[in-house]
Structure 1
Amino acid sequence: MSNRLLLVDDDQEVLSINKKFFEQYGYDVVTATDSVMAIGELSDNSAFDCIVLDIMMPGVNGFELCKWVKDRYNTPVIFLTGKDSEDDKVNGLLLGADDYMVKPYSLRELEVRIQVLIRRYKNTASPRTEIIDFAPLHIDLSKHAAYFNDEKIQLSNKELDFLILLAKSPTKTFTFEELGNSIWGGYIDSDRKTIMVTASRLRKKLDLYPGLENSIETIWSKGYKFAMNKKA
């Protein structure tokens, strides 16, 4: 069965070239020239294996569309854009994007990155029933959600992945490199800022709940660890 791609870009020529390339590699490709059209495709048939997004589009931009997608679907998203600043990359990854490529780009490299993401998502898609319990914090892996008692904690996908990784090994200090490789699929020195911002946002959200304050501990110059005692 072919993998299904949704390509979103306001440049018709880019869409045409990319669609032809990926169809030659056996993909089932759907294209959209703006976010409204993309949302329509997702609403009609959400079964896409990967979504490739431009950022600069009329109306709803790619950042907003990425957040909309990640709030609703467990589908990998790659930004493919001419915006090459570090702040843009950090913003895109914090919104839940799984990868970020800058134009001009290699279609072969893009295809390999898509392969890696699809394989990773499919390998983790099997049902899980494990609950990580640090009462009053409960992490339900089958639902990919965290709860304060029975109240769902509103976390981005990356914040939740960060929390799950630390909570699974509460005595371990995770280095920046380990966090980058485990959550973002790779690490270079410039990724440290993304990791630090994600940790800061996660900590601020958890600190709103009594008993969860300071549960994400910074290990100076090394990384982070989970600082709660697991319920027996």
Structure 2
Amino acid sequence: MLVVEDEPTIADSVAARLRAEGFAVDVAADGPSAVDRFHEGQPDLVVLDVMLPGFDGLEVCRRIQVDRPVPVLMLTARGDETDLLVGLAVGADDYLTKPFSMRELAARVHVLLRRVERLTAVPTPARQLGDIEINFAERRVRRAGAEVHLTPIEFDLLVHLAGRPRTVLPRERLLAEVWGWADGAGTRTVDSHVKALRRKLGADLIRTVHGVGYALEVPS
């Protein structure tokens, strides 16, 4: 696991809590070293601050997701919803606004890892939906034979929708089952990731039911 935070007190506290949870933890304090540590250590999850020296956490997230999709929990002192949506758009899976409790951070980390484990344990190796092929074991998606790069959360959302094609799933249910958020807050997070899936896989893929949620339409 990689913790990227330029404030030593916060970095040490986060690393100590995650080590107490049983994780091996590496720490980086700026954007360039974070990308280097990611390539060297191949972590299963990244805890990533937005404001960093060198280049910011959004750029770090963009670079590491291109190399190898991995769950990212973003830490931010900003309350602006636009900044949070940008973070989700470049591949972050979840976020915490400072100040936060170490107990909540550890809980979010466990939720992200359980979600990945659950979806990679799907017994069916692949599924074909029209011209879209979802390879569960490799976590790869192809449309019309061409590979499409998805972030971890985009892949998980697609898998969840594909498990119930043409069935309308409420935003609150998607938040609970894909993100593990039980309070139903943050439905704009779902909207942002649906928009990303449409951009990458086609506007015809996901149908909006206004005031309710989304349904996956099987492509012809």
Task: Give the shorter-chain TM-score range.
Answer: 0.7 to 0.9
Pair 1:149 & 2:144 matched: yes
Instruction: Describe the SS at the equivalent of 2:208.
Output: strand
Deviations 1:28-75 (A, max 9, x none): 3211111211222222221x2432111011222111212222333353
Pick one of 165, 168, 174 that aligns with 1:170: 165
Counterpart of 1:31 in structure 2 is: 27
Instruction: Describe the SS at the equivalent of 1:37.
Output: helix
Change (3 A) 1:198 1:187: farther
Check the 8 A contact 2:127/2:134 in 1, yes or no. Answer: yes
CA distance in 1, matches of 2:196, 2:36: 31
Pick one of 152, 161, 165 that aligns with 2:156: 161
Alignment of 1:100-179 (within 5 A): 100-126=95-121, 128-179=123-174
Pair 1:199 & 2:189 matched: no
Shift of 1:188: 5.0
The structure with the largest alpha-carbon Rg is 1
Check the 8 A contact 1:132/1:168 in 2, yes or no. Answer: no
Q: Which amino acid aligns with 2:115?
A: R
- Runs of 4 or more above 4 Å deviation: 187-190
Counterpart of 1:225 in structure 2 is: 215
Q: Which amino acid aligns with 1:132?
A: R
Overall identity of the aligned pairs, in %:
29
Which runs of 5 or more structure 2 residues have no equivalent in the other structure?
Answer: none
Change (3 A) 1:115 1:203: closer
CA distance in 2, matches of 1:28, 1:156: 23
Alignment of 1:3-18 (within 5 A): 5-18=1-14
Shift of 1:127: 7.1
CA distance in 1, matches of 2:148, 2:71: 22
Q: TM-score, normalised by structure 2?
A: 0.85
Check the 8 A contact 1:94/1:194 in 2, yes or no. Answer: no
Counterpart of 1:64 in structure 2 is: 59
CA distance in 1, matches of 2:145, 2:212: 34
CA distance in 2, matches of 1:136, 1:26: 42
Counterpart of 1:210 in structure 2 is: none
Q: How many matched pairs?
A: 220
Deviations 1:82-117 (A, max 9, x none): 122222222222322222111111112212222332
Which moves more between the two structures, 185-194 or 168-177? Answer: 185-194
CA distance in 1, matches of 2:98, 2:77: 5
Q: Which amino acid aligns with 1:6?
A: L
Check the 8 A contact 2:19/2:25 in 1, yes or no. Answer: yes
Check the 8 A contact 2:79/2:97 in 1, yes or no. Answer: yes
Supply the RMSD in Å over aligned alpha carbons.
2.5
